Chain A
Amino acid sequence: MASSIRVRAIAGADTTEVQALVQHPMDSGFVKNAKGELIPAHHIETVQFETGGKTVFTALWGPAVSKDPFVKFSFKGGKKGDDLKITWIDNKGATDTTTAKIM
């Protein structure tokens, strides 16, 4: 489980609350390193959450999202044991995906 994505999805009475934490530097492209050189922008652009073959949430992120980004949202439906698939893509084309079980 060396995934960059940590998810907790908890099914409530009629909604499922999802909290996700992604490990990523989210370099804005405005910060200089110790030598005074600009660190090039390196950030996640899209994060997609899918369950039951349907996209329930899409995040479009710019460089102003904090390092190791966190996001929380809820959707209607979803029950214990369902799969929730999370995929992110960054501006260098890197990507990671994980599937979590709704608790």
Chain B
Amino acid sequence: MFISKLPALRTSRRGLLKGAALATVLGASANLLRSVAAFAADAAGWPAEAFKLKSQDDTLKALYGGKTAEASDKVKLDAPEIAENGAVVPISVSTTLPKVTAISVMVAENPNALAASYKIPEGTLPAVSNRLKMAKTSKVIAVVESDGKLYSASKEVKVTVGGCGG
């Protein structure tokens, strides 16, 4: 691109060529800018807002539009009593509730409450296991969306070494 531009600058009589080369350079940089912007965008369907919030209530609002979660013993949250390493805390959520469409896990004391959210289409079992980071000892809350309503379970997990560089 730049090499082709140089001779055009030297031979000033070919002003037309110079203009064309410059236009190509400008066009290319505009394209570059556009692709950088595309790079910075969040993945489709990722609820960026919900992941930025500090409080659990606000997170639920952002995710499920103002519904409140009701504590239910039908939501089973499996988490250790004591996590020796806050960087890797195994957490499983399962439920016997019908028509489950989503399962979310929040860690109350993390900088942002929401850790992960899973979409459960019809035919997929309402059970998920994953590993999360915990900054310090905190309540872990599992929220299940079943038949349009929210149900939750929570458990206190003691963290002896934090997962945020501590």
**Which of A's residues lie within 8 Å of B, judged by CB?**
15, 26, 28, 30-32, 45-46, 54-67, 69-77, 89-93
Contact = CB atoms under 8 A, between A and B. Distances in A.
A27 B107 CA distance: 17
Interface residues of B, number: 42
16 contacts: A26-B133, A30-B135, A55-B121, A57-B118, A57-B119, A57-B120, A57-B121, A59-B130, A60-B116, A64-B110, A64-B134, A70-B131, A71-B130, A73-B128, A76-B124, A93-B38
A61 B119 CA distance: 11
Contact of A77 (B114, B116, B123): B123
Interface of B: 38-47, 51, 87-89, 92, 107, 110-112, 114-121, 123-125, 127-135, 163-165
B78 to A, nearest CB: 12
A50 to B, nearest CB: 11
A58 B45 CA distance: 10
B115 A65 contact: yes
Contact of B125 (A15, A28, A64, A90): A15
Nearest to B63: A60
A46 B118 CA distance: 9
